[in-house]
């Protein structure tokens, strides 16, 4: 009996030493108290304690605390919405971090929504819809938990183009995309879009926007300079990193005191996950070097 007691204590103190806990019990042992409370409120505790197996991307308490209080209150009032958010964090089957690959799209329990996996910095950073995995491969009797530091919300159910259409700040960008005829290109999978706001377009030198809208080739060059092939969430960025755009030239990133810039444009809103990638809203229009000189824009 004493030996069994010691083994049970070790299971509690050293998660992964043995597999005596189901998903819900393990989440409690990991200190994911908010997650467990919401799982119980949603009526999903029995499911996640069942045979499974399941892979859960489990947000920390701090991750939930970063959500606006109004969202938490809404989810608590709306059981269906709460169930949807929690199901989106769960994949059927047991998937370890070694089985994850860059741009993998894992089908969540909330069909047809998928969780996009990205791997950055030679495997040092793994994200699920942009949320870094901070504690991978926590074993349970009926699956595995990967602890993440951000709640995957809102659930990405719109494509990149549909998200641009829905955002009231991006009307000028939508007009430009339509004029250039590149909407279909933005439907490809695994893209990153740096989306200038309407105000960003207004801040261009007088006549610049009109000139671009009248020159489809130039407009296409400028717009494709805002698109990177590959899904680049903010957690995957490194200071001074350069990436190639669809236009062909590189954009560079700078990170200072939590503020992220692409070239000299400040990221106003990062990590808007969409079904085919991610959008970062920026405060300035990016111009390829040749167009900066042509329009005499100094960035």
- Show me where the domains of the chain are located: 2-148, 160-294
Binned at pLDDT 50, 70 and 90, residue 258 comes out as confident
Q: Using CA atoms, how far apart are residues 177 and 158, in angstroms rounded to an integer?
A: 17
Binned at pLDDT 50, 70 and 90, residue 6 comes out as very low
Structure tokens at 173: 């960008």
267-283 mean pLDDT? 97
232-244 mean pLDDT? 94
Q: Which CATH number fits domain 2-148: 2.60.15.10, 2.60.40.10, 2.40.160.20, 2.30.180.10?
A: 2.30.180.10
Residue with tokens 């009109």: 210
Residue 96 contacts residue 144 (beta carbons within 8 Å): yes
What CATH number should be reported for the domain whose range is 160-294? 2.30.180.10
121-140 mean pLDDT? 96
pLDDT at 299: 40
pTM for the full predicted model: 0.89
Residue with tokens 């919300």: 153
For the chain, what percent of residues have pLDDT higher than 90? 88
pLDDT, greater one: 129 or 259? 129
Structure tokens at 141: 């009797």
In this model, does residue 140 exceed pLDDT 70? yes
57-76 mean pLDDT? 96
Structure tokens at 30: 């990991």
Identical fold between 2-148 and 160-294: yes
């Amino acid at each position: 009996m004493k030996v069994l007691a010691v083994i049970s204590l070790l299971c509690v103190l050293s998660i992964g030493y043995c597999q005596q806990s189901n998903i819900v019990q393990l989440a409690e042992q990991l200190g994911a108290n908010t997650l467990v409370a919401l799982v119980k409120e949603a009526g999903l505790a029995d499911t996640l304690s069942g045979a499974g197996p399941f892979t859960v991307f489990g947000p920390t308490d701090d991750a939930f605390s970063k959500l606006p209080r109004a969202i938490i209150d809404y989810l608590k009032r709306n059981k269906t919405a709460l169930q949807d958010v929690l199901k989106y964090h769960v994949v059927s089957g047991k998937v370890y971090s070694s089985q994850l690959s860059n741009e993998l799209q894992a089908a969540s329990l909330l069909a047809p929504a998928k969780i996009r996996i990205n791997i950055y910095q030679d495997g040092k950073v793994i994200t699920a819809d942009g949320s870094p995995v901070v504690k991978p491969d926590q074993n349970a009797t009926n699956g595995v938990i990967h602890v993440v530091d951000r709640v995957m919300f809102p659930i990405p159910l719109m494509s990149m183009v549909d998200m641009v259409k829905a955002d009231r700040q991006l009307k000028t960008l939508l007009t430009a995309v339509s004029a250039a005829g590149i909407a279909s290109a933005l439907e490809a999978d695994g893209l990153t879009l740096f989306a200038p706001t309407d105000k960003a377009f207004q801040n261009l030198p007088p006549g610049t926007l009109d000139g671009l809208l009248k020159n489809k080739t130039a407009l296409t060059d400028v717009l494709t300079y805002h698109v990177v092939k590959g899904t680049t969430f903010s957690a995957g960025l490194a200071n001074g990193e350069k990436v190639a755009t669809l236009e062909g030239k590189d954009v560079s990133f700078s990170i200072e005191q939590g503020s992220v810039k692409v070239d000299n444009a400040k990221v106003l809103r990062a990590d808007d996950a969409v079904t085919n990638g991610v959008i970062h809203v920026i405060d300035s229009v990016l111009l390829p070097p040749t167009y900066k000189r042509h329009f005499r824009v100094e960035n």
